[in-house]
Structures are given as structure tokens and as C-alpha cells.
A and B are shown apart, each in its own frame.
Chain A
Amino acid sequence: MSSASSSAAWKSADSVPDQFPAGLRVLVVDDDPTCLIILEKMLRTCSYEVTKCNRAETALAILRENKNGFDIVISDVHMPDMDGFKLLEHIGLEMDLPVIMMSADDGKHVVMKGVTHGACDYLIKPVRMEALKNIWQHVIRKRKNGWKDLEQSGSVEEGDRQQKQSEDAEYSSSANEGNWKSSKKRKDDEDETEDRDDTSTLKKPRVVWSVELHQQFVAAVNQLGIDKAVPKKILELMNVPGLTRENVASHLQKYRLYLRRLSGVSPHANNSFMNPQEETFGPLSSVSGLDLQALAAGGQLPAQCLATLQAAALGRSTAKSSIPMPLVDQRNIFSFENPKLRFGEGQQQLMNTNKPINLLHGIPTTMEPKQLTTSQSIGNINMQVASHGVQSSQNNSALINMQVASHGVQSSQNNSALINMQVASHSVQSNQNNSALMQMGQPQFARAPRLPLSVGQPIISNGIAASYNPVPQSSSMLNFPMNHASELPGNGFPLGSTPGMSGCTSKGTFQEDFNSEIKGSVGFMSSYDIFNNLNQHKPQNWELQNVGMTFDDSRHSNSLQGNLDLSQSVLVQQGFSSGRMSGQNRSAAVVSKAMFSAGDSTEPGNLLNVSQHLNSLPVDNTIRVKTESVADVNSDNLFIDHFGQEDLMSALLKQQQGIAPAENEFDFDGYSLDNIQV
């Protein structure tokens, strides 16, 4: 949060001045005048600076005008003009201030609602002085957490990133400085993505692309027409106070990537990320058909992912960094946990979503914002999601996991690492990577396996390209659906698919699949992002991720030829790992292994396990899982290089193209991908 300005005491996160907590700037919102006046008096007695208002809209206006003017907000739950929880969400999204809810209602479900919507505390009326005396703790806590996030994410803002890890440095070096606080979904999954402004090192209020906001965005874009949708016009149409053109622009970028992924349009050069690929996003969602849920989630994710991506993209630095940083932790979480998650959940989900992606193009609708949360369930990529924090996880579940990462930052990162198609994790990257991954579906993969291994991490870092390099041939091929196909070649997504791809008819299917896969991969990406972060440090993660992927592929791969549809696509993503290995799916395990070997061998076990799961998973589902595994692998290698600076996507893009890491590309972070529901 930008606590900046005012109370110096409050600004310093760690040091507490003597007169602390005096001077805390509180905004009180309550439609009941009696309560309002009492609260004001009580707070004044605590030596706080109080501003009161009796309408939620007024409160928001005040907060927006005075971005750094307050430290904490206290709001009533039941208000005539706006529901307190809605206000809570808005504040969290736009200003990221701690919010305390209060109500005469002490029913469990209401309190729970407060928790899930991200309130940092819930007071029962009548409010006593004692309860108000300690509200400052929430401010400090949030700041501390925010800093930690920043550090992790490698944001340079605060300056004292103790935790800054080398990885972070890599990532955050440039691109996203913003305050990327890992906004764990406050809630519940959604909403909390934060869009980081690109202002480097300046803590700017993050724009969180909530599902709602994203929907508004999508509506605006659709109204303008994909081709004509420019940030300025979109901003005007959306008419969201506090949203800047930059926010919209970065979000748009991600969205475009996502669309591209979905539609499998000819991959634009890495620039595509940046290009308005709206259409691609749309189809992507369809791809998610794999799991409509995933899609839904993905769809949601897209919103969220987008948000995340956006955030990621914008903030990118943070996103990426966030991933890497806790890498260790995250990785573990993601790589290990996710696989578990995935399997359990993913399996079910996978099944659902595995629908052949081909159709999905238009389908994204299924994705509902709620799904975002589900995405986690899907588990598949959940891992990825996690990387970005809130967002990625969400996406991941639903979608192909890979996609989830798409959040932009996350996904891309992860994706790259995972190679998993991850989708989009960077959205930009994912595409690319995804393609590589997608290839997996193809029998070609057989080659793929080689890649990752040989390359090991380095490849992954490229995102996928890296790994693919060995298999360059296939890589280009596979990526097709994603449009990235063109990109792939650059990256050499060895996914192996390329080799086969060319020959395979599946290619055609892949296209579709890819889209879907891409989506999926996007999902992965997201996971990868997570992984990337994780991987960054640990290549292992990547492996794990792949594992997940591979399995699906295996399943699918067999059917690859025939099934190129989603499963393949999914596989592809996941299959990367697998694709590589066996060309189609089978190698999933192999791939993962390979991955492991490539990456840290320490993890191999994980991957394998993952793959195992994958195998067991229904073909459809496998894909989901995969994404995660991929992420684990080498992602460190792959992504790390790139991400450090820009989004994974760019990194990937670069890789693929052999260009120097393109930082900008990854702005998409959020979108990566596929999940983004259009």
C-alpha cells in the first residue's frame, strides 16, 4: 500500500514512532448517524484522525481523490446505497487499504462473508472503545505483508527488500517495479489481482482486475470491436473511476494475447502479446473446454488472470518477481501442493474440462468468475495460479492450469519454466511456450522429451522455448494453434510437437487444440509463473509441473493423433513434458523425469509422482495437471532468465525468437492465456 504521505509514523513499516498509533487516518462509513458520531468520537479519543461519511459512494470518492490519505477504513455492512462488502472489494482492489467491517449482525455467515471478502476484521455493534484502540495493528500488519510481498516479488520499491532474492533481482530488475504486493486473493480468489502500475519503484495503488472489472472491460472491448479497441476508448467506455489508461493498456495487452491463444491465430511475433489480440482470447476460453469449469475459472481467470496478468504485466516486475521469490516456498507450494491439488481436484476437473477444446472458441462464457476460484480446484494448474498469488491459482484450476498462470506475470513465468504450455502464463509467453508444449500432443513429442532434458533448465527458462530448443523443429510446429507457432520456431519449443506436427494432421487439430491448449497452457503458465518463481530457484519445480502435464498428454497423446483435440492440447501443455517424452503422452512421466533431470534432480520425485497422477487422471484431466508439472521443471532456468525482467512472455518470446529477453512482452502476465475468457 502506499501509505505514503501523512503520518510519517504510519509510513514506516517497521519502525513505530513513539506517539504511535496516534495520527492514524481512519475513514468511517456508516449510514446510521448515531453510530457514526459515536465512532468518530471514540476514534478521536484514541488520537486518530477521523473522517466520517454516511454513504459508500462518498467514501469511495474520498478515497479515490485522496489515494494516500487514509490508513484504514471502517465500514458498516448494511448500507442503503451500496453493500458494505462491495465497498470492501472496491477498496481492496483500488486502494488496497485494510478494511474493518462492522454490523449489529453477528451471525456467523455474515462474519464469514467479511472474511472471504477480505475484511481484516469484523466488529459487532455496539462498538466499544477497546475494539477501536487496536485497529492500528491491521495497518501495520498489512504493511508488513505488503513489504514482504514486495520483496519477494522483487519489487524494488520499498527499498528494503530483505528477502530479495537473487531471483527476484532477476525478475524484477526491470519490468515491474510497481508495488507488487502479492495480493493473495483476498478472498477468495478473485478479485484480488493487482494491477501494478508500471511506475517503477513507486508504490502506486494497484488496480486489481476483478472479475467484474474485467467483464466491464470485455464489454467495452466488444462494443468497440476488437480491432478498434484502444485503451483510451476502452477506458472511456468502462468509466471506472481511478482506472488509468495505462492500466487498461496493459490489461488489453494481456487480453489480446489471451485471445490469440484461444483462436490460435497466427502467432504474432512476440509483439503479439502486446498486440491486441482480443480475439485470441476469446477462443482460448473455448479451449478451455477442457474444463468448462476451468474455463469458467479460466474465464474467470481471464478476468482475473487478466487482472493478474495485467497486474503482472503492469507490475510485472512484481509478478515475476513474486514468483521467483518465494520460489522456494512457492515452489514447494505449487509444485508439490499443486500436484496434489490437481490430482484430486484436477482430476475431476480435468475430466470436465477436457472437452475438446476445439469448440471452445466461443465458449468462454462458461467460465464464470466463480470459477476462478474453482480453477484452483482444478488443481491442474493451480499451482500456477499460486504463483501470482491470488490470481494465478485461480486460473489454474479451472483451466488448463497453464493458463492460469496467464495472469500474466505468473503464468508466463511459469509457463516458461514449465514449458508447459503454460500457457500463457505470460500470456505472451505462454503462447509461445504453449506452442511448444502443444507440440507435445504430437507424436513428435518424442522428441520433446529430449529437449527438456537436455536443456534442462535453461530451456525452460525460455519458457518453453528453452526446453524446446533441442527440438526446435517441433517447436515451431506445435505452437501453432497458438499463433505462436511462428513464435515457436524462434523458441524452438522443442516440445517435440513440431516434428510431429508438421506431419500430423493433428496439427490442424492442434490449432484448435492449441488454442485450447494454449489456454491450457496458459493455465500452466500461470502455474508456471508460480513455478517460475519457484523454479527460478529451483528448476525442480519445473519438473514437477511438467509432470502433471505430461500425464495428460500421455493419455491424450495416445489419442493424439486422433484426439488432438483438447486433450491433446491440454496435453500439449502438459504434454510438453510428456510430449517431449514420448511424443504423445506417455512420456509424461518420462518427461517429467527428464525434466527432473534437467532441472534439479531433487524434484524428480515430485514430478514423477505428478505424472503418475496424471496418468491416472482421465485423459482430459491430465492436461490440467500437467501444467503444473511443467512449471516445475526447469522453469527456473528458462524463466529465470527472462523473467527477471520482463514478463515471462517476453522472456519466452525472446527465447523463441532468440531475441534478447523482451521485457515488455510479458506484460501480459495476467493473461496468459488461455483461460482468459473473453
Chain B
Amino acid sequence: MERNPLRRQLQIMRKSLFDQGYLDEQFVQLEELQDDSNPNFVEEVVTLYYRDSARLILNLEQALERKPYNFNKLDAYMHQFKGSSSSIGAKKVKAESTLFREYCKSGNGEGCMRCFQQLKKEYATLRKKLEAYFQLARQAGPMETACRPK
């Protein structure tokens, strides 16, 4: 257990992210890639993800404004979004993406719209939580952030 209160806090925060299902094992993979040569690797990747996925969210918004829905297009966008989200371990967001694609496949426009709203919420929530996490990590000390407990 970490002596340093900040680090301990960090650990608790991290654990809760996993326990509450916001993050999955893939996030751990990212953490493992972080090393001395890339001390902020995870944060960098997540930042990149949010930047890129914002574009996809915008595309989806626009596509959902055009009726009738072009389900193929929606599905394609969501497929990309799902790929990115799963790469960083965004569990809930990924689940919503999968659901959205199901609705697309069955041509359920209503379902798509509802699902998309939920997805945006989860996406925003995760972003906030991760931002807080990284901020704390920077405060707690670079080496220990996002590292597996030794």
C-alpha cells in the first residue's frame, strides 16, 4: 500500500474506475507500456483518443440529424469509434457502441438515437474521471502513476 497519501488516493481512484466498469483490462495493457522512456504514455494516448473520437462523435451527430438514417454509415462510424474506445479500455463506452451497432443492424432509428445519447454521457463521464486521475497522478509523482503496484 502506498505510503504517500496522494499515491494512495491515486490507487483508490484507479481501483474504483475498474470496479465501476469504466475501464477494463486493456487499460492495464497501456499502463504496462508506460516506462521511463515514456512516463506519460497512458495520458498521451487517452488525450489522443479524446481528440480523435470527438471528431467521430461529431460525424455521428451530423449523421443522426439526417433522416432517414443511413444505417450503414452510422454503423461504419460507430465501428471506428468502438475500435478506438476499446483500445484504451473504455469499457462502458465500448458497450454502448456495441449496442448502437446492434440497433443499426436492425434498423432501429429510435434505439440508435437513445443509445447515442447514453453513449455521449458515458463518454463525457469517463473523460472527466480520467482527467482527474491523470491530474492526481502528476501530482503524486510521475513514476508511480498508472503503474502496477510492485
Of A34-42, A237-245, A439-447, A626-634, the segment with at least 4 beta carbons within 8 Å of chain B is: A34-42
Task: From known contacts A32-B52, A33-B48, A78-B80, infer whether A38 and B86 are also in contact, taking CB-CB under 8 Å.
Answer: no
Determine chain A's interface SS by DSSP, over half rule.
mixed
Of A123-131, A415-423, A601-609, the segment with at least 4 beta carbons within 8 Å of chain B is: A123-131
- B79 contacts A105, CB within 8 Å? yes
A103–B87 Cα distance when bound, in Å, is: 11
User: Within 8 Å CB of B33, what residues of A?
Assistant: 38, 41-42, 45, 129
A104 within 8 A of partner (CB): yes
- A104 contacts B45, CB within 8 Å? no
A128 and chain B: residue at smallest CB distance? B29
- A35 contacts B29, CB within 8 Å? no
- A37 contacts B45, CB within 8 Å? yes
User: Within 8 Å CB of A42, what residues of B?
Assistant: 29, 33
B118 within 8 A of partner (CB): no
User: Within 8 Å CB of B87, what residues of A?
Assistant: 32, 34-35, 38, 125-127
User: Within 8 Å CB of B52, what residues of A?
Assistant: 32-34
Report A32-73 CB contacts with B as 1/0, cut-off 8 Å.
111101100110010000000000000000000000000000
Tell me the count of chain B residues lying within 8 A, CB to CB, of chain A: 23
Task: From known contacts A35-B84, A41-B33, A126-B89, infer whether A104 and B49 are also in contact, taking CB-CB under 8 Å.
Answer: no
Chain A interface size, under 10 / 10 to 19 / 20 to 34 / 35 or more: 20 to 34
- A103 contacts B83, CB within 8 Å? yes
Q: Which of A38, A125, A127 contacts B45 (CB 8 A)?
A: A38
Cβ distance A219 to chain B, nearest Cβ, rounded Å: 31
Number of A-B contacts (CB under 8 A): 58
B38 within 8 A of partner (CB): yes
User: Within 8 Å CB of A38, what residues of B?
Assistant: 30, 33, 45, 87-88
Cβ distance B81 to chain A, nearest Cβ, rounded Å: 9
Binding site for B on A (CB under 8 A): 31-35, 37-38, 41-42, 45, 76, 78, 103-105, 125-129
Q: Which of A31, A41, A104 contacts B82 (CB 8 A)?
A: A104
Cβ distance B24 to chain A, nearest Cβ, rounded Å: 9
Q: Can you name 6 A-B pairs with beta carbons within 8 Å? A: A32-B83, A35-B87, A38-B30, A38-B33, A45-B33, A104-B82
Given contacts A37-B48, A126-B83, A126-B87, 19 further A-B contacts (CB under 8 A): A33-B52, A34-B48, A34-B52, A34-B53, A34-B87, A35-B84, A37-B45, A38-B30, A38-B45, A41-B38, A42-B33, A45-B33, A78-B76, A103-B83, A104-B86, A126-B29, A126-B89, A128-B26, A129-B32
Cβ distance A625 to chain B, nearest Cβ, rounded Å: 45
- A32 contacts B84, CB within 8 Å? yes
- A34 contacts B84, CB within 8 Å? yes
Which of B43-76 touch A at CB < 8 Å?
A: 44-45, 48-49, 52-53, 76
A129 and chain B: residue at smallest CB distance? B29
- A32 contacts B79, CB within 8 Å? no
B88 and chain A: residue at smallest CB distance? A34
A547–B73 Cα distance when bound, in Å, is: 55
User: Within 8 Å CB of A127, what residues of B?
Assistant: 87
A488–B26 Cα distance when bound, in Å, is: 69
